[in-house]
Chain A
Amino acid sequence: MSGDDDPDAQLLAGVGRNDPEAVRQLVARKLPRLLSLAQRLLGHRGEAEDLAQDAFIRVWKQAAHWQPGGARFDTWLHRVALNLCYDRLRRRRDDAPAPDDETSDPIDPAPTPERALLDVQRGQRVAAALAALPVRQREAIVLQYYQELSNVEAAALMQISVEALESLLSRARRALRAQLIGDTTE
């Protein structure tokens, strides 16, 4: 999709004019998606928040110079966030990707304590299973499943073909199934 029908273009123009309301709306619209991407790729809440802030700093700098008609803003923002994720993952490449205390509360409070506890436990298991995936498989599942990007958009962001994306997704889901459900068939 080109930037001609970019749903964020008007908001971005407002940010470029330093309109506080446009800034507020853009943060409200994009922050959950940025945190969603970063937390699931990095598996670390604090790092995800830092990354979101770094990404928004780039948005503030870019907004006044944004040229409609090129890439969609959301695609550009995902590209920025992915690059920031890569930087962080590279820096800790040799570390074990175990979730720490800060990933212990990624779930919204549920109506009952029992249900909340169950959700937290399930969320923690998914976080751990995602963290155990090879980076490219994790990236594929986060972009396609959690960020709800189309296969074409996700493949373009990862700079691979749709067929290669499907292969990564299929292997990722098989590994997650084995981790979470103990089932190796798909």
Chain B
Amino acid sequence: MTPDRLRTLLSTYGADWRRWPAGERDAARALLARDAAAQQRMLDHAAQLDEWLASYAVSERIVAGASTTLRARRERAWWWRGAGLAAIGLAGSLAGAWGVSLALHDFGANPGDWPLRATAFSALPADWSDE
């Protein structure tokens, strides 16, 4: 670490060593400790701007407001998704009921030809003894 590089760190990353590149922190701090008086002016200089930058905070009130809006929007989305699923479920039920009604529906077959509870196999002879 050279005094030039330390100066670059201060003018680039500010006075707080925690913002400096991890690999250079220890060496830079050691140099500062060895030569504090010489580096103090640069340090103060960088800290002055840091203090200004820190004054531009994002309000907790803004965060809270945005959080409320976000929650409401997500809950609305979930409501619509739930309503969509319910609608799909209802549509499925209706389709099922319609299908069952079709299956049970008597399509005008002649009761004489199709005895009660007859199936497609009803016409087969029950007694196969003559075959």
Main secondary structure of the interface of B (DSSP, over half): helix
Contact of B58 among A24, A35, A174 (CB under 8 A): A35
Q: Which residues of A contact B121 (CB under 8 A)?
A: none
Q: Which residues of B contact A170 (CB under 8 A)?
A: 8, 11-12
Chain A nearest Cβ from B9, distance in angstroms: 9
Question: With the chains together, A145 CA to B70 CA distance in Å?
Answer: 26
Interface of chain B residues 57 through 112 with chain A (CB within 8 A): 57-63, 65-67, 69-71, 73-74, 77
Q: Which residues of A contact B128 (CB under 8 A)?
A: none
How many interface residues does B have (CB within 8 Å)?
32
Interface of chain A residues 1 through 43 with chain B (CB within 8 A): 23-24, 27-28, 31-32, 35-36, 39-40
Q: Does A97 contact B (CB under 8 A)?
A: no
By size class, the interface of chain A is 35 or more
B52 and A108 form a contact (CB under 8 A): no
Main secondary structure of the interface of A (DSSP, over half): helix
Interface of chain B residues 1 through 22 with chain A (CB within 8 A): 8, 11-14, 19, 21-22
Contact of A49 among B11, B50, B69 (CB under 8 A): B69
Question: 16 additional contacts, CB 8 Å, given A52-B70, A107-B59, A151-B21?
Answer: A35-B58, A45-B62, A49-B65, A52-B66, A53-B66, A106-B58, A107-B57, A119-B55, A122-B55, A123-B57, A126-B56, A145-B19, A151-B13, A162-B21, A173-B12, A185-B45
